């Protein structure tokens, strides 16, 4: 074949008009993340399966009749139902969000690192998708898409688990139901607000991990943990712990307002609630004002820092050339 | 014809080494341009500049846009295949189609699926389950279904067997190329693509050694093959490179007419591969006078033509 024949053939080829079809880039980018990181959608389902199996065993082998008291305090059926429903929601949520945090840590550190390691970044960059859009899609995954998905999964889990534990073991008046709809709605609403606050509170950490992921040449986990190394260095070299105080504050549950101490309440279990004398769903959340968390200026400063980290991650992905 | 790529004085240094050193060229639409050079000549660096993947000094316009500042928009009209390794291993064929369909306004899914149906690739397979050749077919299917104006291929068939390589270029030519489109390809396997190129750019050590249309080569370069007794007379005409093959000597001339050379022996236009070797070897020989093997005959100093195609 000569170049002439190539040209003849080219001339004969039909002229194609420029086609343009509608695209949904952000939705596609989000789907892409779930294809690559299956743990993002599988892990919550695994936790759900474990919780439901736990509920079935609990129902089969747990108490079949109502206890007359919790600790020293006499229990009312209504109070017991409210407590058990709330604890169920909190425990399911707690398990799901701990697993989610671990999964998201590995997701955030891997998502901009793996594409460079396997050079697939050259494929992604051959598509008309800006670096900003790519980085934002990954940030949105960790900030909104995955937490929302886990929230919905958890909500459905508590419904199923509630249904299981609500089945009376013995028919008749001795049968025990541990389900309280009002307490459930309230607990779900509160945990949603806490989830939003927590996700926003940890946004700078997420953005930092994305930046490390875009930047590190190797040992991405080590770089992600480098602030901890800085803490040790500070302790040894200067004998101070400003850095550790500050980092621990940012890593801790700084998003819950001081008055809440809800973690404490959760871990203290039902006894905490009943020690006041009576146990109603109203009292369970008495004094809690989760929306107050939005008034914490540190939350908003953190978000500004997160934006700066994201911007840096976009720049690094745009101009780094190590393929 | 419009200018697709206009590069002026492109330079890029990695530390002390100049990957590109003041390179200028331009590429018109409807051409198939081969960028050919030894390892480290600056080919990939030039392509990365064109694709806005790395920074450089100098002026560069691609489809009227600046790849440094407008690369996102540019990528709607430019496709590239970096090499066979870059499709993500974890993606399923079906999802790869979903992805490109979701982000690329000029992607025609039906076209990609038609192409894939002619291969053994199943849509449910993951890339890691495909052979190297099939991955390239998949990548090609994605690219061919994009109505782009410029296609950049960087060693696209590296590591593929002959059948896949041949098929790759045949498909490219038959199903893709037309007057509106431009293909810029780099490869080591010059012989394989020389029949489809309309233009060549030879790069060595960050410089352009030759930039010409393929049609113009016979007017400018000739290869003369003579027996042992004709060599000394042939050398009087100042070939820039010569090499011995089976006891006969092939001498390469620039700017000689066939009429001058025909009395001495067998004259023909050099193949692109032979011309490439001759040009690069004569450069090396001049740089290190001790030379490489038969080396270059002393000849008129070569200008490095930066002329556009």
pLDDT tens digits for range B80-110:
988 766 899 999 999 999 999 999 999 999 9
CB contact under 8 A, A13 and B99: no
- Residue A11 near chain B (CB below 8 Å): yes
Residues of B in contact with A123 (CB under 8 A): 82, 86-88, 139
* CB atoms B102 and A27 under 8 Å: yes
pLDDT tens profile A71-86: 555 556 666 777 777 8
Taking CB atoms and an 8 Å limit, are A127 and B104 in contact across chains? yes
Q: Are B106 and B180 contained in the same domain?
A: yes
Residues B162 and B116 in one domain: yes
Domain boundary among B213, B232, B267: B213
Q: A290-318 pLDDT, tens per residue?
A: 777 787 888 899 999 999 999 999 999 98
What CATH number corresponds to the domain at position B227? 3.30.70
| Domain residue limits at A130 | 74-319
Q: What is the CATH number of the domain that holds B175?
A: 3.40.50.300
Does B83 lie in the same domain as B223?
Answer: no
> Considering its fold, how many domains does chain A have in total?
1
Span B131-146, mean pLDDT?
89
B259 with B209, same domain: the answer is: no
Each residue of B223-267: pLDDT tens digit?
999 888 888 888 888 899 988 888 899 999 998 888 888 888 889
CB atoms within 10 A of CB A47: 21
Whether residue A300 lies inside any domain: the answer is: yes
Cβ contact, residue pair B102, A23, below 8 Å: yes
Q: Are residues B208 and B221 in the same domain?
A: no
ipTM exceeds 0.95, yes or no: no
Strand partners, B183: B32, B151
Same domain, B20 and B125: yes
> Does residue B307 lie within any of the structural domains?
no
Residues of chain A contacting B215 with CB distance shorter than 8 Å: 3
B13 or B122, which is more confident: B122
The pTM of the full predicted model, rounded to 2 decimals, is: 0.83
The predicted-structure confidence for B210-228, as pLDDT tens digits, reads as follows 999 999 998 899 999 988 8
Q: What is the span of the domain harbouring residue B261?
A: 217-287
Residue B123 lies in a domain: yes
Number of domains in chain B: 2
Orientation angle between helical segments A181-201 and A146-166, nearest 10 degrees: 160
A143 in a domain, yes or no? Answer: yes
User: Using a CB-CB distance cutoff of 8 angstroms, which residues of chain A are in contact with residue B76?
Assistant: 128
Mutate to test the interface with B, among A12, A124, A127, A320 (most CBs of B within 10 A): A127
pLDDT in the model for residue A243 = 78
- Mean predicted confidence (pLDDT) in B194-212: 89
């Amino acid at each position: 074949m000569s170049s002439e024949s190539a040209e003849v053939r080219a001339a004969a080829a039909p002229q194609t008009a420029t086609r343009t079809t509608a695209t949904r880039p952000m939705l596609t980018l989000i789907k892409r993340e779930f294809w690559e990181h299956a743990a993002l959608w599988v892990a919550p389902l695994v936790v759900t399966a474990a919780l439901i199996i736990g509920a079935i065993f609990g129902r089969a082998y747990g108490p079949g009749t109502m206890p007359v008291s919790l600790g020293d305090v006499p229990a009312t059926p209504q109070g017991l139902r409210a407590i058990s429903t709330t604890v169920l929601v909190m425990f399911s949520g707690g398990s799901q969000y701990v697993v989610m945090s671990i999964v998201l840590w590995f997701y955030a550190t891997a998502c901009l690192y793996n594409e460079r390691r396997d050079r697939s970044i050259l494929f992604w960059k051959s598509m008309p998708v800006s670096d900003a859009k790519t980085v934002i899609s990954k940030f949105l995954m960790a900030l909104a898409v995955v937490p929302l998905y886990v929230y919905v999964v958890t909500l459905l889990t508590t419904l199923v688990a509630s249904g299981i534990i609500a089945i009376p073991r013995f028919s008749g008046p001795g049968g025990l139901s541990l389900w309280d709809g009002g307490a459930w709605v309230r607990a779900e609403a509160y945990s949603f607000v806490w989830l939003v606050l927590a996700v926003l509170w940890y946004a700078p950490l997420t953005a930092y991990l994305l930046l490390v992921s875009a930047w590190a040449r190797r040992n991405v986990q080590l770089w992600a943990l480098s602030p901890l190394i800085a803490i040790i260095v500070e302790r040894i070299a200067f004998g101070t712990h400003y850095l550790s105080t500050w980092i621990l504050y940012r890593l801790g549950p700084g998003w819950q307002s001081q008055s809440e101490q809800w973690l404490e309440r959760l871990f203290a279990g039902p006894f905490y609630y009943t020690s006041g004398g009576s146990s109603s769903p109203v009292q369970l959340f008495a004094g809690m004002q989760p929306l107050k968390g939005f008034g914490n200026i540190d939350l908003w400063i953190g978000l500004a820092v997160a934006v700066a980290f994201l911007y840096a991650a976009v720049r690094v992905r745009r101009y780094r050339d190590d393929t | 014809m419009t200018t697709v790529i206009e590069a002026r004085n492109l330079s890029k240094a990695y530390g002390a080494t100049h990957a590109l050193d003041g390179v200028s060229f331009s590429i018109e639409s409807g051409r198939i341009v081969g960028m050919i050079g030894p390892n480290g000549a600056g080919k990939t660096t030039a392509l990365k500049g064109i694709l806005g993947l790395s920074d450089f000094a100098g002026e560069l316009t691609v489809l009227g846009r600046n790849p440094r500042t407008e690369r996102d928009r540019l990528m709607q009209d430019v496709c590239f295949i970096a090499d066979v390794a870059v499709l993500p291993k974890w993606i399923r064929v079906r999802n790869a189609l979903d992805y490109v369909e979701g982000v690329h306004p000029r992607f025609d899914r039906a076209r990609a699926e038609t192409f894939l149906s002619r291969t053994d690739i199943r849509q449910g397979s993951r890339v890691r389950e495909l052979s190297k050749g099939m991955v390239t077919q998949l990548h090609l299917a994605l690219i061919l279904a994009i109505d782009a104006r410029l296609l950049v291929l960087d060693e696209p068939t590296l590591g593929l067997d002959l059948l896949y390589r041949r098929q790759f270029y045949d498909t490219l030519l038959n199903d893709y190329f037309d007057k509106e489109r431009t293909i810029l390809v780099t490869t080591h396997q010059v012989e394989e693509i020389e029949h489809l190129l309309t233009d060549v750019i030879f790069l060595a050590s960050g410089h352009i050694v030759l930039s010409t249309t393929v049609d113009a080569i016979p007017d400018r370069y000739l290869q003369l093959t003579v027996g042992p007794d004709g060599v000394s007379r042939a050398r009087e005409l100042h070939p820039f490179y010569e090499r011995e093959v089976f006891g006969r000597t092939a001498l390469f001339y620039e700017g000689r007419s066939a009429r001058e050379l025909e009395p001495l022996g067998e004259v023909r236009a050099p193949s692109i591969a032979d011309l490439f070797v001759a040009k690069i070897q004569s450069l090396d020989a001049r740089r290190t006078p001790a030379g490489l093997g038969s080396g270059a005959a002393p000849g008129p100093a070569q200008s490095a033509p930066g002329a556009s195609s």
